[in-house]
Amino acid sequence: MPRYRVNLSTMVFLLILLGATVILFCGWYIKLNPLDCTSSNRKIHVVLLSSWRSGSSFVGQVFGQHPSVFYLMEPAWHVWNKLKNSGAQALRMAVRDLIRSVFHCDFSVTDAYLPQRRNVSSLFMWSHSRALCSPPACSLTPRGHLSNQTQCLQTCDTVGLQEVQEACTSYSHVVLKTVRIFELESLYPLFEDPSLDLRIIHLVRDPRAVVRSREQSAKAFVHDNAVVLEQRNVPAAEVQYQVVQEICRSHVRISERALRKPTPFLKGRYKMVRYEDVARNPLAEISAMYDFVDLDMTHQLEEWIYKLTHGKGKGSLKEAFEITSRNAADVSQAWRTTLPHNKVKRIQQVCEGAMALLGYTTVNSDEEQKRLDIDLLAPREPYRFTWLPQKPEHSGKG
Ligand SMILES: *[C@@H]1O[C@H](CO)[C@@H](O)[C@H](O)[C@H]1NC(C)=O
Ligand SMILES: *[C@@H]1O[C@H](CO)[C@@H](O)[C@H](O)[C@H]1NC(C)=O
């Protein structure tokens, strides 16, 4: 018996020693080679779930430029574009399966949606992905450098899908942005897939600002609106309200699923982010998002984010689809001076529940709307927005 005890404690000691050695080695290895160690152990898969004109291009870029991330902007576009006479409801499983395949770095699924002679330039907005402008996909931008979209478009447009796949497998994180998911349930199988480590970042924005921003490029949304509205026949003047109503409903549906009565596998996998908080305090909010998906902030990214969010002006029409240096906080208030009050009232009606839930205060008069000194953003309540016990954070609005 004593002999057995000695052996057991020796075994335990050896096991602990072995564990410590592995951890030490891995830590040492990560320092030397941040990309390889993590990618061989576990990949992290992120859906940046948002809706149109909610700052998701900007937040997408924040991930797309990160040296550890393989990013794709809106792969679901291919599904909606190919099957444009369907409704969102019918397409959601195809969208889910496309997302799952891309998370597994399997691009064969795109067969169904891409032209016959295809390469990287058949992928929607591919040049927004730094990974597609960097080795092993393309030699233009060394890994760890920021990519220039214009140059990437010119230089890397003939990369084959095989190289895209190889690039994808060489990163520790795969991040996909989409505005085409309106519920979480279709993603449940991905949460339960043991080979995926799925995290959802749900980016929302004040619906009044969303409508104002969508009006600036109304034509671009004709097909998408029809899909969102399930191809229903809706009077032209009503379309924008019904679409924003669907968007608002989805915010409520998703956050209630994730936060109010969550199934266990959602725990720690969902984070809600308000665009306005990002606009007011970009570095802190972006750092928190990086933390949530186990990415490190780099000095280079910090500088880049600062520049991008501290430009001048409200953002012109031409800029509407581009990410440029402008004052992000400014842009998030622009609706208050440009949107007629009767429209604002109508949006507040159709989005009442979502606005209350997300902390967007309603205005009761034209005067109140235009008085920019009245803050319409209620302080966020972190416990409502995320499952993870947050590190002690400065309270109040960032
Ligand atoms: C990207 O490259 C283009 C063409 O070389 C250049 O004109 C532009 O200034 C660059 N953009 C940035 C942000 O560096
Ligand atoms: C890649 O796609 C572009 C645009 O469709 C085309 O011009 C080019 O020839 C393609 N390259 C290859 C190798 O197929």
Instruction: State mean pLDDT over 73-99.
Output: 94
Of 119, 153, 161, the one to substitute when testing ligand 2's pocket (max ligand atoms within 8 A of C-beta) is: 119
Q: Minimum-distance ligand to the CA of 163?
A: 2
The residue whose C-alpha atom lies closest to atom 11 belonging to ligand 2 is 158
The answer to whether residue 304 scores a pLDDT higher than 70 is: yes
Minimum-distance ligand 2 atom for the alpha carbon of 117: 14
The answer to whether residue 267 scores a pLDDT higher than 70 is: yes
The residue whose C-alpha atom lies closest to atom 10 belonging to ligand 2 is 158
Of 128, 140, 150, the one to substitute when testing ligand 1's pocket (max ligand atoms within 8 A of C-beta) is: 150
With respect to residue 33, please indicate whether it lies within any of the assigned structural domains.
no
With respect to residue 17, please indicate whether it lies within any of the assigned structural domains.
no
With respect to residue 390, please indicate whether it lies within any of the assigned structural domains.
no
Protein residues with CB under 6 Å of any ligand 2 atom: 117, 119, 121, 157-158
> Is the separation of the CB atoms in 120 and 137 below 8 Å?
yes
Q: How many residues does the chain have?
A: 398
Span 225-250, pLDDT tens digits: 999 999 999 999 999 999 999 999 99
What amino acid occupies position 165?
Q
With respect to residue 242, please indicate whether it lies within any of the assigned structural domains.
yes
The total of other beta-carbon atoms located within 10 Å of residue 83's CB is 15
The residue whose C-alpha atom lies closest to atom 12 belonging to ligand 2 is 158
Neighbouring residues of 356: CB distance < 8 A, sequence distance ≥ 6 = none
The residue whose C-alpha atom lies closest to atom 10 belonging to ligand 1 is 148
Dist. CA 131 → ligand 1 center (Å): 18
The answer to whether residue 393 scores a pLDDT higher than 60 is: no
Q: How confident is the prediction for the chain on average, in pLDDT?
A: 85
Nearest CA-CA partner of 288 in 172, 204, 206, 389: 389
Range of the structural domain that residue 253 is part of: 40-370
Q: Which two tokens stand for residue 264?
A: 């266990």
**What pLDDT is attached to residue 146?**
95
The residue whose C-alpha atom lies closest to atom 14 belonging to ligand 1 is 148
With respect to residue 362, please indicate whether it lies within any of the assigned structural domains.
yes
With respect to residue 207, please indicate whether it lies within any of the assigned structural domains.
yes
Domains: count for the chain: 1
The answer to whether residue 318 scores a pLDDT higher than 50 is: no
> Is the separation of the CB atoms in 121 and 158 below 8 Å?
yes
**What pLDDT is attached to residue 9?**
72
Span 147-166, pLDDT tens digits: 999 999 999 999 999 999 99
Minimum-distance ligand 2 atom for the alpha carbon of 119: 1
Of 128, 146, 148, the one to substitute when testing ligand 1's pocket (max ligand atoms within 8 A of C-beta) is: 148
The total of other beta-carbon atoms located within 10 Å of residue 246's CB is 17
Neighbouring residues of 157: CB distance < 8 A, sequence distance ≥ 6 = 119, 120, 121
> Is the separation of the CB atoms in 18 and 146 below 8 Å?
no
Protein residues with CB under 6 Å of any ligand 1 atom: 148, 150-151
Of 157, 159, 162, 164, the one to substitute when testing ligand 2's pocket (max ligand atoms within 8 A of C-beta) is: 157
The answer to whether residue 23 scores a pLDDT higher than 70 is: no
> Is the separation of the CB atoms in 347 and 241 below 8 Å?
yes
Q: Minimum-distance ligand to the CA of 304?
A: 1
DSSP states along 161-226: HHHHHHHHHT-SEEEEEES----SGGGHHHHH-TT--EEEEEEE--HHHHHHHHHTTGGGGHHHHH
Minimum-distance ligand 1 atom for the alpha carbon of 151: 2
Q: Minimum-distance ligand to the CA of 307?
A: 1
Residue 262 belongs to domain with CATH number:
3.40.50.300
The residue whose C-alpha atom lies closest to atom 6 belonging to ligand 1 is 150
pLDDT band at 115 (very low <50, low <70, confident <90, very high): confident
With respect to residue 87, please indicate whether it lies within any of the assigned structural domains.
yes
The answer to whether residue 181 scores a pLDDT higher than 60 is: yes
Minimum-distance ligand 1 atom for the alpha carbon of 148: 1
**What pLDDT is attached to residue 5?**
56
Q: Which two tokens stand for residue 86?
A: 């369907």
pLDDT band at 39 (very low <50, low <70, confident <90, very high): very low
With respect to residue 382, please indicate whether it lies within any of the assigned structural domains.
no
Instruction: State mean pLDDT over 180-196.
Output: 96
Dist. CA 150 → ligand 1 center (Å): 6
Dist. CA 152 → ligand 2 center (Å): 14
> Is the separation of the CB atoms in 156 and 137 below 8 Å?
yes
The answer to whether residue 36 scores a pLDDT higher than 60 is: no
